[in-house]
Structure 1
Amino acid sequence: MTVKLWISGARPKTLTTSLSSVAVGACCAYPVIVGDLNCAQTRSDTSQCAAVTADAQAMMSRFWLVTLLCVCVGVLLQIAVNYANDYSDGIRGVDEGRGGSEKKTKKPMRLTASGLVPAKHVLVAAVVSALLACVCGLVAVVLSQAWWLLLVGVLCLLAGWFYTGGKHPYGYAGFGELSVFLFFGLAAVLGTQYALSGSVSVLGVLCAVVAGLLSCQILMVNNLRDINEDRRHGKRTLAVRMGERGARVMLGVCCVVAWAIGVWVVMLLWTPWGGILMLSGIGVPWRMVTSTGRKEFRKALSDACFQPPFFAVILLISLMV
């Protein structure tokens, strides 16, 4: 049980999802705080500006610390979910054929299915990762005083476990993509924005939708790759329910909607260069969709994992300019 093996089991390629969502949320929070700092210049009624400015100064003073804590929460929660899925799918036999190297099986190796790590150790790793995420989340909530985010954190933990765990995992019923959209998109982006700025903006909602749809693409590619094994083991993912052709169409729709909103948002922030900069990467989603049709899933997964951080970087640049 080497460190390299545990890192591989955490599925590091997919961790860009949570990291990018938190970064997007921080980007959306920053202009809200700056607007409150300049309350006297941006509002006609300045009677409350003293209190608003004081709150904004307090938020700015802890901005980077809370952002770092949110990053830790997002990444550790995703690692916990990845280990939990490895454990649950492994003991159910769904990860059959993933006991060898990726070069031989054409699919990422799983810790439990490979037998290289005892199942109970994988479960312990999931629990430890979740506990560390809880500690970071609690500190972030105390600093931001956004107590209702504790409920969001509990829901995230429950969603992570019951995705493939429990007697009736919802990931086996075709609701995995919806869960990813809600928790890696809306919850991660808007939760981060609220923890940092104390409010949610229209920009935040639009960016949360983009982040959620881009995150869904990763799971869609995974489910397309595993469609035959999932069908054989009774795992009725959205891909299994819709069929291979329907799942590819759904992947294309999510891709088009995400990029259309994303291009529009960054172009409004930095006209027209934000949109042009975003469109410079349009070849990546096109290659992702066409690669799934050719069953080149390793290439498609890499392209899917590239898009969330790409959007986050373009959004950051557009806001800075």
Structure 2
Amino acid sequence: MNIGLWVQGTRPRTLPASIAPVVVGAAVAWRRIGEFDICPLVYPQPESCRVGRALQTMLEGRFWPVAVLCALVALFLQIAVNFANDYSDGVRGTDDRRGDAETTSGKPRRMVASGLVPARHVLIAAGLAAALACIAGLAAVLVSHAWWLLAVGAASLVAGWCYTGGRHPYGYIGLGELGVFLFFGLVATLGTEYALAGTVDTTGVLAACCVGLNAVMILMVNNLRDIDDDRIHGKRTLAVRLGERGARAAFVCCLVVDWAGSVMLMPLLWFPAGLVPWLAVAAVQTCMIRAVMRRDFGGALGLAGAQTSAFAVCVAVAMAMDAVVS
């Protein structure tokens, strides 16, 4: 067994897209939980203050176990999707990546397409990762009592498989970016916030949109890198539909919208100092645009993952500092 090949098969550069929404959702949830005990300086205090304080104590007590479980769900689900994509693309013949090393274009090996791992073994690995995600998800639901998250988890599994699997994979008709925005942005971030705080708010929605756009940019860079192979094999990704010039323009538009959303979000979390850590995200975005324009898609993919991680860290730091200052 080639452990390195299996590790590469998890597509490590994409994994920040799975953890980032949990980190952001947890940070926003912690801020929301802190608002439950905001009471007027009067005596006697209203009954609502006692209820809010009790709710806050309960949510704080289960915060870290649920947060860790949500992170495990997201991580194992991302790995399951990556293995499933490797399997589906390999058996369809979409990936033409044979050999023992990365190609000169920087495209990583795929286990099934390379012929180094039997397709059945990759499918089993995808199933095992999905099972681990289900176990962690069930534990999170039992602790948080957010039973409707079971339906969200089931929908996420189906969406992950149907991205490149099944008879009509939506990733083959240019809807991959929409699916990533919904499930790795809105669903993952807001689902984490709800599991931890029992509610969602406008700050969480704005943060979820930024996380979703970060994940979309990872996929867009990946599809730009593979645009020629995808066109040959009939995989009509958004990049193929728009053409390379149009796909680059769409990428820049997503980045600008994400930049604007971040500018609005950071001061909300920690004003005005919240803009300072955001400069790290802006620096990564600038380098990423340059890499895409130079057709350095391998470097751009690494930067896209770094941007996702940097944004999540900035949100967490802003929340922590705001809590300390206040």
Give the TM-score, by structure 2 length.
0.94
What is the SS of the residue equivalent to 2:255? Answer: helix
Question: Judging changes above 3 Å, is the alpha-carbon distance between structure 1 residues 68 and 247 closer, same or farther for their aligned structure 2 residues?
Answer: same
Corresponding residue number in structure 2 for 1:126:
126
Equivalent residue runs for 1:59-70 within 5 Å: 59-70=59-70
Corresponding residue number in structure 1 for 2:71:
71
Question: Judging changes above 3 Å, is the alpha-carbon distance between structure 1 residues 42 and 294 closer, same or farther for their aligned structure 2 residues?
Answer: farther
Tell me if structure 1 keeps the 8 A contact 2:22–2:74: yes
Distance 2:41 2:90 in 1: 56
Question: Judging changes above 3 Å, is the alpha-carbon distance between structure 1 residues 130 and 58 closer, same or farther for their aligned structure 2 residues?
Answer: same
Corresponding residue number in structure 1 for 2:169:
169
Tell me if structure 2 keeps the 8 A contact 1:98–1:107: no
Equivalent residue runs for 1:1-321 within 5 Å: 1-36=1-36, 38-41=37-40, 46-102=46-102, 104=104, 106-321=106-321
Structure 2 unpaired stretches of 5+? 322-326
Distance 2:109 2:62 in 1: 40
Q: How big is the shift at 1:283?
A: 2.7
Tell me if structure 2 keeps the 8 A contact 1:263–1:274: no
Tell me if structure 2 keeps the 8 A contact 1:248–1:289: no
Q: Can you list the C-alpha shifts for 1:44-94, whole angstroms capped at 9, x where unaligned?
A: 993333233222211111100000000000000000000000000001111
Q: How big is the shift at 1:43?
A: 11
Q: Can you list the C-alpha shifts for 1:155-210, whole angstroms capped at 9, x where unaligned?
A: 10000000000011000000000000000000010000000000001110000000
Tell me if structure 2 keeps the 8 A contact 1:22–1:67: yes
Q: How big is the shift at 1:313?
A: 1.0
Aligned positions, number? 320
Question: Judging changes above 3 Å, is the alpha-carbon distance between structure 1 residues 167 and 220 closer, same or farther for their aligned structure 2 residues?
Answer: same
Question: Judging changes above 3 Å, is the alpha-carbon distance between structure 1 residues 257 and 43 closer, same or farther for their aligned structure 2 residues?
Answer: farther
Q: How big is the shift at 1:315?
A: 1.0
Distance 1:275 1:300 in 2: 24
Tell me if structure 2 keeps the 8 A contact 1:29–1:193: yes
Q: Structure 1 residues 292-301 or 268-277, which shifts more?
A: 268-277
What is the SS of the residue equivalent to 1:282? Answer: helix
Distance 1:170 1:42 in 2: 55
Distance 2:99 2:216 in 1: 26
Once the two structures are aligned, what percentage of the paired residues are identical? 51
Q: Structure 1 residues 53-62 or 24-33, which shifts more?
A: 53-62
Give the TM-score, by structure 1 length.
0.96
Amino acid across the alignment from 1:313: V
Structure 1 unpaired stretches of 5+? none
What is the SS of the residue equivalent to 1:48? Answer: helix
Corresponding residue number in structure 1 for 2:324:
none
Q: Can you list the C-alpha shifts for 1:225-278, whole angstroms capped at 9, x where unaligned?
A: 111110111100000111111110110011111111112211232223211321
Tell me if structure 1 keeps the 8 A contact 2:97–2:110: no
CA RMSD, 1 decimal: 1.7
Distance 1:160 1:77 in 2: 8
Distance 2:150 2:287 in 1: 39
